[in-house]
With several copies, the nearest count.
Chain A
Amino acid sequence: MARVIVDVMLKPEILDPQGRAVMGAFARLGVHGVVDVRQGKRFEITLEGEPTDEALADLHRMAEELLSNPVIESYTLRVEA
């Protein structure tokens, strides 16, 4: 059993209304010194067996085509220790 984490974030140049809303709330709640907030998605994927190269290649494909929208998002994939 291995655990793979895929993080999907909007590309930096793309507007992130969600992050902006959180920033606004921080300010109203008296939390200062925060210069930026970005909100993205986190996927925790549990594999049956070991994270073989094929398995990871598959997941990279999924991260690229399904979990993220390459037009506006970028992803990172890592096997959790």
Chain B
Amino acid sequence: MSLDTVGRAESTPEAEQPYAELGLKPDEYERIREILGRRPTSSELAMYSVMWSEHCSYKSSKVHLRQFGEKQPEGGWPQLMVGIGENAGVVDVGDGWAVTFKVESHNHPSYIEPYQGAATGIGGIVRDILSMGARPLAVMDPLRFGPADAPDTKRVLPGIVAGIGGYGNCLGLPTIGGEVVFDATYAGNPLVNALCVGAMKHEDVHLASAKGVGNLVILYGARTGGDGIGGVSVLASETFDADGPAKRPSVQVGDPFMEKLLIECTLEVLRAGLVEGIQDLGGAGISCATSELASNGEGGMHVRLDRVLLRDPSLSPEEILMSESQERMCAIVMPGNVDAFMEICRKWEVEAVVIGEVTDSGRLTIDWHGERVVDVPPRTVAHEGPVYNRPMQRPSDLDALQADDARALTRPTTPQEIRETWLRMTGSPNLASKKWVTSQYDRYVLGNTVLAQPEDSGMIRIDEESGLGVAVSTDCNGRFVRLDPYEGAKLALAESYRNVAATGARPLAVTNCLNFGSPEDPEVMWTFAEAVRGLADGCLELGIPVTGGNVSFYNSTADTAILPTPVVGVLGVIDDVERRTPISWGPDGEVIYLLGDTAEDFAGSEWAHVMHSHLGGLPPRADLARERLLADILIAGSRDGMLTAAHDIADGGVAQALVEMALGSGVGARVWAPDGVDAATFLWSESPGRAIVAVPRSEEMRFTAMCAARGLPAHRIGAVDSGLGADVGRPGEQVLQFGDVVLTLAELREVHEATFPSYFGPALTV
């Protein structure tokens, strides 16, 4: 078919265009015609369709996400250097250091091709961090899967894990945390979220804007091929039907080696001061990069598309504009700096080519071999896409769901029942050891990993002289969100916040990835809106801003939507990583304190899920003032050396926290319940605002005095005791003893670690 130029578009106004196939609605197509005062060329249509897709335009979520910007303290957020709207937000962590982090989804591609989908998910988020001018320092991978024993999970999980490891390991970034959660609703729609954190000096922060008329636009990195053409709009905006894998669009393959070169090359050109503006190429490739850069800058840009280096010479201009080939970046460079820029690219064996220049024409014009194929106002492509106020409706089943009180479920009471429950919970897929997964990830590379899985947060050192570091955690209990999206989102935030504080770091900023079903379903939309409202309110209460994130809609299979899953990432700062608090207690003799109040909170708990396959009732209320107090105590305890260990209490309650603390250190303990709390509630309730700490006896007075003075309930619930085995007739063995219930660490470790290999085959997890 011959080239569809602007001239041709003007002369053939009535030509039929496949806008529907490209995912545009009739009124959206009409609006494009209005903006242009003519029909779009096929290249323009390609650009608008991909940039106005849900994934790129946030058309259904924008009206809600606004709250993240609007709900802020008087005078704004002191720590925030770059907020929402850029590739990733940036916060000031002191000493002239700035940190950027963001979590993004790659759910649908990872279902279609698990290895490459997950791998390119890591690649994409790393380029977002890089494009802020930061050196990427670590990644995390919050994952959700269908039931562990489902055949499709066996196909998807190993591939996704291998893909994350294959890319991250080869790229040289440590994986310092993540999540692996199983629930029936994720069958056929796994969630692959990827988080990256990076650091830079204040003066090195860069933005995605095309400043300086006459400056040149350089595309560098991998060549452009036919990868994931329309992937963004097609993959991210359509639901799977039962025969999911049957329809297979072209898949993007990642090249972590190229990405590694791209990182080193980019940091070198940035540090050499050769770059005025920079943008990664992610979803929507060149369409997104050129229109966003132009729209954020002088407002105009002229591009010669035929200059783009191609892997497949047969690509048409439309395809080049839509291509999602990985490992590409776009830089705005002064003419005088181009030679120096190219020299550094040559050093790193990275291909680069000037594809255009910055103008003040207010238009983005693109030529193909001298013929004009695009002539549009860039803002209308990048930032003035459609905005929908979608109908919302409270789920009709919510009242019934909330009325189905989990406190009515039968609880274990006899020592025998408690023992069996404890072992079964410890080995249940969501609580079992994730070593099968994490031992496939390099956590040591770069030599700055202070804490990694299975700790409460990943922690990395960013300044080797001062010991300044950051801690990051991601969390979300989707069952809480299902039962009450407003509280559930706050609870996800609270848990992530608590996990950061437990390591001794001060929470500073938030990122999030909102994984939901179809926005065209009013009940999903209501749930989404409530979750965003809860998150925005929660951030204001906790005093930490949302700096960025991502929305992933259409996470549903024909009949079911996934549990609403707003994954929340919290980043904290610690002045000296030497002061970190791990989850493993020991060596011996410390007293064990339970901080916070324990109520009969079984709604949405892991216990109700595992032992009763039950989901119902009202989740606990998030008391964020209490969370702040708890965090203060945990941070002070770490700073003043009053704690040998601390562990946040969440999925699986106190019982699970104790198991993880004991297995981490290999030392047993005797524990008992506080007065007036029944055994099952003590062990498996998931009341928020709690943590377990191990306190050396020498610090006990000081610590309890501090808690009393600050008004935080602290219950003495046990003591670390390596000699307990003998007392309970298990000489030479380490045991956890709770009244008449005795569990050896050996049997706990066995059930804890046997689960994943039993489902996903042998792997070296020892």
Contact, chains A and B (beta carbon distance below 8 A): yes
Partner of B112, one of A10, A16, A24, A71: A71
Residue of B nearest to A70 (CB): B248
Taken residue by residue from 245 to 279, chain B's Cβ proximity to chain A (1 for < 8 Å, 0 otherwise) reads as: 10010111111011000000000000000000000
| Complex contact B349–A24 (CB within 8 A) | yes
Interface: B42 (CB within 8 A): no
| Complex contact A15–B250 (CB within 8 A) | no
Residue of B nearest to A21 (CB): B257
Given A13-B312, A15-B325: A72 and B255 within 8 A (CB)? no
Interface: A1 (CB within 8 A): no
B199-251 CB contacts (< 8 Å) to partner A: 222, 225-227, 245, 248, 250-251
| Complex contact B253–A14 (CB within 8 A) | yes
| Complex contact B226–A13 (CB within 8 A) | yes
Best-surrounded residue of A15, A21, A69, A72 (most CB of chain B within 10 A): A15
Best-surrounded residue of A14, A69, A70 (most CB of chain B within 10 A): A14
Given A24-B349, A71-B248: A15 and B255 within 8 A (CB)? yes
In the bound complex, how far is the Cα of B250 from the Cα of A19, in angstroms? Answer: 19
Residue of B nearest to A15 (CB): B253
Please give the distance in Å from A27's CB to the nearest CB on chain B. Answer: 10
User: In the assembled complex, which residues on chain A have CB atoms less than 8 Å from the CB atom of B255?
Assistant: 15, 17, 20
Taken residue by residue from 1 to 35, chain A's Cβ proximity to chain B (1 for < 8 Å, 0 otherwise) reads as: 00000000010011111001100100000000000
User: In the assembled complex, which residues on chain B have CB atoms less than 8 Å from the CB atom of A71?
Assistant: 112-113, 245, 248, 251
Total A-B residue contacts, Cβ distance less than 8 Å: 38
Tell me what chain B mostly uses at the interface: helix, strand, loop, or mixed.
loop
| Complex contact B349–A72 (CB within 8 A) | no
User: In the assembled complex, which residues on chain B have CB atoms less than 8 Å from the CB atom of A10?
Assistant: 253
In the bound complex, how far is the Cα of B339 from the Cα of A74, in angstroms? Answer: 42
Please give the distance in Å from A35's CB to the nearest CB on chain B. Answer: 12
In the bound complex, how far is the Cα of B222 from the Cα of A81, in angstroms? Answer: 33
Interface: B311 (CB within 8 A): yes
In the bound complex, how far is the Cα of B325 from the Cα of A10, in angstroms? Answer: 16
In the bound complex, how far is the Cα of B349 from the Cα of A17, in angstroms? Answer: 14
Please give the distance in Å from A66's CB to the nearest CB on chain B. Answer: 11
| Complex contact A13–B257 (CB within 8 A) | no
In the bound complex, how far is the Cα of B350 from the Cα of A24, in angstroms? Answer: 12
Tell me what chain A mostly uses at the interface: helix, strand, loop, or mixed.
loop
Residue of B nearest to A17 (CB): B255
| Complex contact B250–A13 (CB within 8 A) | yes
| Complex contact A17–B258 (CB within 8 A) | yes
In the bound complex, how far is the Cα of B323 from the Cα of A13, in angstroms? Answer: 12
Residue of A nearest to B256 (CB): A17
| Complex contact A14–B349 (CB within 8 A) | no
In the bound complex, how far is the Cα of B311 from the Cα of A71, in angstroms? Answer: 19
B288-329 CB contacts (< 8 Å) to partner A: 311-312, 325-326
| Complex contact B251–A17 (CB within 8 A) | no
Partner of A72, one of B116, B222, B225: B116
In the bound complex, how far is the Cα of B248 from the Cα of A28, in angstroms? Answer: 27
In the bound complex, how far is the Cα of B683 from the Cα of A66, in angstroms? Answer: 45
User: In the assembled complex, which residues on chain A have CB atoms less than 8 Å from the CB atom of B325?
Assistant: 15
User: In the assembled complex, which residues on chain B have CB atoms less than 8 Å from the CB atom of A13?
Assistant: 225-226, 250, 312
Residue of B nearest to A69 (CB): B113
Partner of B225, one of A15, A24, A70: A15
Please give the distance in Å from A72's CB to the nearest CB on chain B. Answer: 5
Taken residue by residue from 49 to 63, chain A's Cβ proximity to chain B (1 for < 8 Å, 0 otherwise) reads as: 000000000000000
User: In the assembled complex, which residues on chain A have CB atoms less than 8 Å from the CB atom of B225?
Assistant: 13, 15
Given contacts A15-B252, A15-B253, A17-B258, 6 further A-B contacts (CB under 8 A): A14-B250, A16-B253, A17-B255, A70-B248, A71-B112, A72-B251
What 9 pairs between A and B have smallest CB-CB spacing? A17-B255, A15-B253, A71-B113, A13-B226, A71-B248, A72-B251, A71-B251, A14-B253, A15-B225
For this complex, 15 residue pairs linking A to B, each with C-beta atoms less than 8 Å apart, are: A10-B253, A13-B225, A13-B226, A14-B227, A14-B251, A15-B252, A15-B253, A15-B255, A15-B311, A15-B326, A16-B253, A69-B113, A71-B245, A72-B113, A72-B251
